[in-house]
């Protein structure tokens, strides 16, 4: 059995790929390259920062006429809108304008007002249309999807793991521990067993001073002094649910419904595993 560990800067963070198989070094390198290439492909489709990405194009045109979607974009948007329905808008990918106003995203369109919400998004089997002008941002779900896609590229391996700055998915999750940082203490973490194939974390960490979490219901930034991690069947779902759990401390029943588990860690390193009635 041969093992290869590699790391590249992608998605605004460092992406780690670990792969083990009865294969040569070259074969493992080629396999890991497929995972990195897949992440780069998803980034090119769903980046708000890239003016020619599919996301930027639909932000410019989808309120004028229906926009035909790639398969990947349809998968992500259908999951996002399903979560918007389940959370009554607490998860809302139409908060792009607020993030532009906060300086977290570039103002490609020089649009002064973006009045639509998730309820103004019409998604069918092939296309999307906005009933009102709005700006989608997929920063709360696309990274997890990219991790899922990368892990699929590693399926020939006996064991594989992809970690994109805390959005993590692996094949041998039953025997894999994960370290989650203390949100207030540099270099300090809490080690937990994986309770599902994927995990994602949101929190106001010491090095993330420029990051902003928007409450879609108030359209205002929020901040907590704790981190929220969610274990889920897919990294896309885990990524999205961290935002829900971060904003709603009583979403334990929703987590259970979606076969997910939320965990909070405060500045003192105290761990709270959410129950269904929370």
Structure tokens given for 203: 């929190």
Report pLDDT for 98.
Answer: 87
pLDDT band at 136 (very low <50, low <70, confident <90, very high): very high
pLDDT beyond 70 at 214: yes
Residues whose CB falls within 8 Å of the CB of residue 261, separated by 6 or more in sequence, listed in order:
195, 196, 230, 231, 232, 255, 273, 274
Long-range CB pairs of 209-217, under 8 A, 24+ apart, other chains included:
210/104, 211/104, 212/99, 212/102, 212/104, 213/243, 213/246, 213/247, 214/95, 214/98, 214/99, 214/102, 215/247, 216/89, 216/90, 216/91, 216/92, 216/94, 216/95, 216/117, 216/118, 217/89, 217/90
Enter the pTM of the model: 0.92
CB 25 within 8 A of CB 75: no
pLDDT beyond 80 at 124: yes
Assign a CATH topology to domain 63-130.
T-fold (1.10.3980)
CATH number for the segment(s) 172-278: 3.10.520.10
Report pLDDT for 110.
Answer: 62
Of all residues in the chain, the percent with pLDDT exceeding 70 is 90
pLDDT, tens only, 216-234 = 877 777 776 788 999 999 9
Q: Where in the chain is the domain with CATH 3.10.520.10?
A: 172-278
Report pLDDT for 156.
Answer: 86
Q: Where in the chain is the domain with CATH 1.10.3980.10?
A: 63-130
Report pLDDT for 210.
Answer: 45
pLDDT, tens only, 44-76 = 999 999 999 999 999 999 999 999 999 999 999
Phi, psi (degrees; rounded to nearest 5) at 16: -105, 135
CA atoms within 13 A on the CB side of 45: 19
């Amino acid at each position: 059995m041969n093992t290869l560990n590699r790391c590249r800067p992608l998605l605004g963070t460092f992406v780690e790929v670990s792969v083990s198989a009865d294969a040569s070094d070259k074969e493992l390198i080629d396999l890991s390259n497929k995972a990195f290439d897949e992440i780069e492909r998803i980034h090119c489709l769903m980046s708000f920062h890239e003016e020619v990405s599919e996301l930027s194009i639909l932000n410019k045109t989808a309120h004028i006429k229906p926009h035909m979607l790639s398969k990947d974009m349809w998968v992500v948007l259908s999951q996002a809108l399903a979560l918007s329905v389940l959370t009554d808008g607490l998860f809302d990918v139409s908060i792009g304008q607020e993030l532009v106003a906060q300086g977290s995203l570039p103002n490609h369109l020089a649009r002064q007002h973006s009045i639509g919400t998730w309820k103004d998004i019409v998604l069918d089997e092939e296309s999307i249309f906005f009933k009102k002008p709005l700006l989608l941002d997929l920063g709360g779900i696309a990274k997890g999807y990219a991790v899922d896609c990368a892990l699929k590229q590693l399926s020939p391996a006996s064991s594989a793991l992809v970690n994109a700055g805390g959005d993590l998915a692996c094949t041998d999750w039953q025997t894999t521990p994960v370290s989650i940082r203390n949100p207030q203490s540099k270099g300090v973490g809490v080690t937990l067993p994986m309770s599902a194939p994927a995990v994602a974390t949101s929190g106001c960490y010491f090095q993330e001073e420029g990051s902003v979490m928007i409450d879609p219901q108030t359209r205002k930034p929020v901040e907590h002094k704790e981190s929220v991690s969610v274990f889920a069947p897919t990294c896309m779902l885990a990524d999205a649910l961290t935002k829900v759990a971060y904003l709603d401390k009583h979403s334990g029943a929703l987590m259970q419904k979606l076969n997910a588990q939320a965990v909070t860690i405060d500045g003192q390193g105290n761990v709270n595993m959410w129950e269904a009635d929370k």
